[in-house]
Chains A and B, each alone.
Chain A
């Protein structure tokens, strides 16, 4: 059988073996000891010709209910947002997606410049001085922020609010176990971090305090007050932030954050069952030389012409090896490119307009549900998500919604036992008034 990705002909093979001085390719594998040789075929499914493969994969995909066919009110860290058509056309320029990390700058100026622009846009949104070229996702970026904080302060106590995404906190716990850090979780009060409790646990052994803004429940945390509590004890202030919300909200950089992390999935990256998304990592100038991952910098060539290179590589694992504080190597460059295209397409006006539509539509939804008699427990200001309470399991509620073509919200009881029968509802700019009204009607009937 021949394969379309393998160009060697029998004649090629013959000539090449002659040049090497062998009579069979088996001779090239003689250094693999007999005892470990696989003496049978791999027991995996046989190859499929392209049309059959298309059919098979289409059928697998069709078994899933997708958010193009269904109306989704599910967010909880991953959102259904507007993606301009242009994004996919840029991503399919194969000079980008078939390239490796831009280690040869002379033939990688396109990628390097695109990342330099990405870094700038993230700085603009977050209000920070320096942003890296991306991280795996928001959750691992948050854990890396804790590693950086500990290295910088030489302290090991990590404080994290329970209003931070539960899956990010789980990832943090795993990283912390690796580093023998102590993680202290602070409770919430009325949907935001309990400041009294926070004051009690922050002390001079605190490496950082990690807050999500807007938080997992959609609520806007009082960063100003929290900043004072953290900095009083000289800990690092880490804020995990949805970058679209920063189209309307005060950037964490203006509120004293030392490190801002999050996920740029909101900018044109498909939900994709949870990945790949696009973590970002931004810091103050003071921490520039401690940032994990790759950084692109501007410089000039021998003729004085502007160009871009990977820089400050002395921070990275391939130089520092066991002295490195992060082992990150691959990043999410292609997704950073997608996010850049969307941030560019939206531009200065669009990012505001879309963020504002999220605020308006989510508040309309909250008001409409409340008017139908549904309890909305948290009173504070929020961005595009809010919590509602039912008198029955959320699984049942969502089943009912699905019958009406609606993917319901996140079942908070799964990760917050005290919030059993509570649902987190996300309303993005893509949800129409009609869809919101329909949601309210179905829920009212329960």
Chain B
């Protein structure tokens, strides 16, 4: 990594420099006073930087060197599915016929885009075992909320207004309860048993007439398959609730099983995880939602339909929850996901899950002697270690994560799920070679050894990054959220 401090772009600015080129105005110029009243004319300039094109390129190149992506090195960030982002996807998404079309063009002029969307939504319906899919939600959490809103509309349409509770496991991602709140539900927690699975007795005790839905990730956030899924589905369905599938961990089961076959009524997928949409440093993502037949009337509108050979958006959907996003979703990410699916086909996607699971189990067994493993059964695409043993030696999971930076790795997810003490959640993905896995395993074993023999080196890590550990407390107490000219 680039170790020199990189000035802010504003600090490189010098009056009079530009980084753009447009033709001079070619229509007769009219005095601006005649067009816009002076009270609406800006009097102070926006202080945007003034730099040349090369300065911009050098600035962002320097910043990129201070950033770690999947292309830079191994990125076993649990629950995030940091797999390889295929380059052809980037090319295809930039074809003018995809990138430079307007969402409000007449439908006849964008049939290719609509065909792509239709193919993607029917493909995702088959992969998840659902009856229909909407591509409108922009991200996973947005999909969760969309799905819950449909469940709410469904219950209300049945005159079932007392269903105000959404059940989430204690190991759930924070977006689950937050999405429930934004959809107008209260969330209640169901416990995890000693095997890391939802406690069925506890589930029975919390389910009732007020249950709107159970939200579940399967495999769950501990990387374990909820093997009692059919009993769980029966418990929830018998109480009149719906089953919601958080597709964050879909990478583990493609071609092996489908949420629709497990009894789920609503599913969201994270196309930026399983289907390589890249993560982009935090987004954009895409969070399509699939539903079973009885929830179809509640899908967000418009709904993309095929009529004869033509594709059309249907707006006349009286029971729809309405729009969740302007236009039709994050189309550009959907193009990438579809390109990926067409690269892999049915056999390829099955292999993806096979290798994602094989890689995770291999790493788990290799690391088991050196770290605590709270759940011993085979995992799926990820596994959770506990840094309890190292904590007793004064080395916390955070230190282990920081030490991994010195080896050139992005660390695993840490301190999540909340139910595991000093959690270290590793998700290798299927796109990594055995050599990479072995090197990472060796680094982890070395760190475990350092914790015993030379804890300071771990406690004081990282040693090789462009910057040391940052003062996050001051950042939050006295926030500086923008550059101010001195």
Question: Which residues of A are found within 8 Å of B272, using beta-carbon distances?
Answer: 330
Contact A381 B37 (CB under 8 A): yes
Question: Which residues of B are found within 8 Å of A429, using beta-carbon distances?
Answer: 22
Question: Which residues of A are found within 8 Å of B129, using beta-carbon distances?
Answer: 38
Enumerate 13 A-B pairs (CB-CB under 8 Å) in ascending A order.
A6-B355, A7-B432, A7-B433, A44-B341, A74-B102, A90-B56, A249-B40, A305-B5, A327-B142, A329-B141, A331-B284, A334-B278, A335-B284
Question: Which residues of A are found within 8 Å of B286, using beta-carbon distances?
Answer: 276
- B239 near A: Cβ within 8 Å? no
- A67 near B: Cβ within 8 Å? yes
Spot the interface stretch: B200-208, B288-296, B320-328, B387-395: B320-328
Contact B50 A95 (CB under 8 A): no
Q: Which residue of B lies closest to A361 (CB)?
A: B27
Partner of B255, one of A19, A38, A356: A38
Partner of B281, one of A96, A125, A307, A343: A96
Q: Which residue of B lies closest to A349 (CB)?
A: B18
Q: Which residue of B lies closest to A29 (CB)?
A: B256
Chain B positions 290 through 318: 1 when the CB is less than 8 Å from some CB of chain A, otherwise 0: 00000000001000000000000000000
List 3 tightest A-B contacts by C-beta distance, closest first.
Answer: A274-B327, A63-B112, A61-B97
Contact A334 B475 (CB under 8 A): no
Question: Which residues of A are found within 8 Å of B258, using beta-carbon distances?
Answer: 36, 38
Given contacts A100-B279, A123-B482, A173-B322, contact A43 B102 (CB under 8 A): no
Contact A250 B41 (CB under 8 A): yes
Contact B282 A92 (CB under 8 A): no
Question: Which residues of A are found within 8 Å of B100, using beta-carbon distances?
Answer: 66-68, 80, 270-272
- Assembled-state Cα–Cα distance A19/B104 (Å): 56
17 further A-B pairs in the complex, CB-CB below 8 A; given A32-B253, A306-B5 = A48-B345, A63-B112, A63-B115, A68-B100, A99-B68, A100-B281, A106-B402, A120-B483, A173-B323, A178-B182, A178-B183, A274-B327, A297-B479, A297-B480, A318-B175, A324-B178, A398-B106
Partner of B94, one of A12, A88, A314: A88
- Assembled-state Cα–Cα distance A369/B25 (Å): 19
B contact residues, total (Cβ < 8 Å): 203
Given contacts A19-B366, A61-B98, A171-B326, contact A360 B50 (CB under 8 A): no
- Assembled-state Cα–Cα distance A42/B345 (Å): 9
Given contacts A36-B261, A327-B181, contact A311 B475 (CB under 8 A): yes
Contact B476 A43 (CB under 8 A): no
Given contacts A20-B361, A106-B402, contact A168 B67 (CB under 8 A): no
Partner of B323, one of A107, A174, A344, A351: A174
Question: Which residues of B are found within 8 Å of A326, using beta-carbon distances?
Answer: 178, 182
Contact A119 B482 (CB under 8 A): yes
Contact A321 B177 (CB under 8 A): yes
Question: Which residues of A are found within 8 Å of B18, using beta-carbon distances?
Answer: 345-347, 349-350
Given contacts A90-B57, A104-B405, A328-B141, contact A301 B342 (CB under 8 A): no
Contact B483 A327 (CB under 8 A): no
Contact B481 A97 (CB under 8 A): no
Given contacts A111-B281, A136-B142, contact A16 B127 (CB under 8 A): no
- A139 near B: Cβ within 8 Å? yes
- Assembled-state Cα–Cα distance A325/B343 (Å): 40
- A64 near B: Cβ within 8 Å? yes
Chain B positions 443 through 486: 1 when the CB is less than 8 Å from some CB of chain A, otherwise 0: 00000000000000000001001111111101110011111000
- A230 near B: Cβ within 8 Å? no
- B43 near A: Cβ within 8 Å? yes
| A275, chain B: closest CB distance, angstroms | 4
- Assembled-state Cα–Cα distance A99/B174 (Å): 21
Contact B109 A65 (CB under 8 A): yes
Spot the interface stretch: A51-59, A154-162, A184-192, A231-239: A51-59
Given contacts A171-B325, A274-B326, A322-B180, contact A331 B282 (CB under 8 A): yes
Contact B67 A96 (CB under 8 A): yes
Partner of A100, one of B32, B75, B479, B480: B75
- Assembled-state Cα–Cα distance A306/B62 (Å): 16
Contact A120 B20 (CB under 8 A): no
Partner of A96, one of B64, B115, B333: B64
Contact A33 B27 (CB under 8 A): no
- Assembled-state Cα–Cα distance A62/B111 (Å): 10
| A203, chain B: closest CB distance, angstroms | 24
* Most B-side CB within 10 Å, residue of A7, A101, A104, A168: A104
Question: Which residues of B are found within 8 Å of A364, using beta-carbon distances?
Answer: 27-28, 30
Question: Which residues of B are found within 8 Å of A357, using beta-carbon distances?
Answer: 22, 25
Partner of A410, one of B71, B104, B187: B104
Question: Which residues of A are found within 8 Å of B371, using beta-carbon distances?
Answer: none
Chain B positions 8 through 46: 1 when the CB is less than 8 Å from some CB of chain A, otherwise 0: 111001000111111101111110100111011111011
Contact A63 B472 (CB under 8 A): no
Q: Which residue of B lies closest to A276 (CB)?
A: B284
Q: Which residue of A lies closest to B431 (CB)?
A: A5
- B209 near A: Cβ within 8 Å? no
Q: Which residue of B lies closest to A436 (CB)?
A: B27
Contact A74 B358 (CB under 8 A): no
A-B CB contacts (within 8 Å), total count: 694
- Assembled-state Cα–Cα distance A311/B473 (Å): 9
Question: Which residues of B are found within 8 Å of A123, using beta-carbon distances?
Answer: 482
| A23, chain B: closest CB distance, angstroms | 13
Contact B60 A341 (CB under 8 A): yes
- B149 near A: Cβ within 8 Å? yes
Contact B468 A301 (CB under 8 A): yes
| B73, chain A: closest CB distance, angstroms | 9
Contact B357 A321 (CB under 8 A): no
Q: Which residue of A lies closest to B259 (CB)?
A: A36
Given contacts A33-B229, A140-B142, contact A307 B283 (CB under 8 A): no
| A111, chain B: closest CB distance, angstroms | 4
Contact B470 A309 (CB under 8 A): yes
- Assembled-state Cα–Cα distance A40/B378 (Å): 23
Partner of A41, one of B75, B177, B255, B469: B255
Given contacts A74-B105, A100-B80, A174-B321, contact A299 B474 (CB under 8 A): yes
Contact A344 B475 (CB under 8 A): no
Contact A137 B326 (CB under 8 A): yes
- B440 near A: Cβ within 8 Å? no
* Most B-side CB within 10 Å, residue of A28, A41, A46: A28
Name A213-262 residues within 8 Å CB distance of B.
Answer: 220, 224, 246-251
Name A302-325 residues within 8 Å CB distance of B.
Answer: 302-303, 305-309, 311-314, 316-325
Contact B479 A312 (CB under 8 A): yes
Given contacts A100-B80, A273-B102, A323-B181, contact A330 B281 (CB under 8 A): no
Chain B positions 65 through 103: 1 when the CB is less than 8 Å from some CB of chain A, otherwise 0: 111111110010100101111101011101111111111
Contact A44 B48 (CB under 8 A): no
Contact A98 B182 (CB under 8 A): no
- Assembled-state Cα–Cα distance A294/B481 (Å): 11
Contact A249 B102 (CB under 8 A): no
Name A49-95 residues within 8 Å CB distance of B.
Answer: 50, 53-54, 56-69, 72, 74, 76-78, 80, 82, 84, 86, 88-90, 92-95
Question: Which residues of A are found within 8 Å of B56, using beta-carbon distances?
Answer: 86, 90, 341, 344-345
- Assembled-state Cα–Cα distance A295/B256 (Å): 40
Question: Which residues of B are found within 8 Å of A21, using beta-carbon distances?
Answer: 365
- A131 near B: Cβ within 8 Å? yes
Question: Which residues of A are found within 8 Å of B152, using beta-carbon distances?
Answer: 178
Chain A positions 114 through 129: 1 when the CB is less than 8 Å from some CB of chain B, otherwise 0: 1011011101110001
- B194 near A: Cβ within 8 Å? no
- B184 near A: Cβ within 8 Å? yes
- Assembled-state Cα–Cα distance A12/B421 (Å): 33
Contact B358 A302 (CB under 8 A): no
Contact B101 A66 (CB under 8 A): yes
Contact B19 A110 (CB under 8 A): no
Partner of A72, one of B82, B102, B230, B346: B102
Question: Which residues of A are found within 8 Å of B116, using beta-carbon distances?
Answer: 60
Partner of A273, one of B28, B98, B145: B98
- Assembled-state Cα–Cα distance A6/B141 (Å): 29
- B179 near A: Cβ within 8 Å? yes
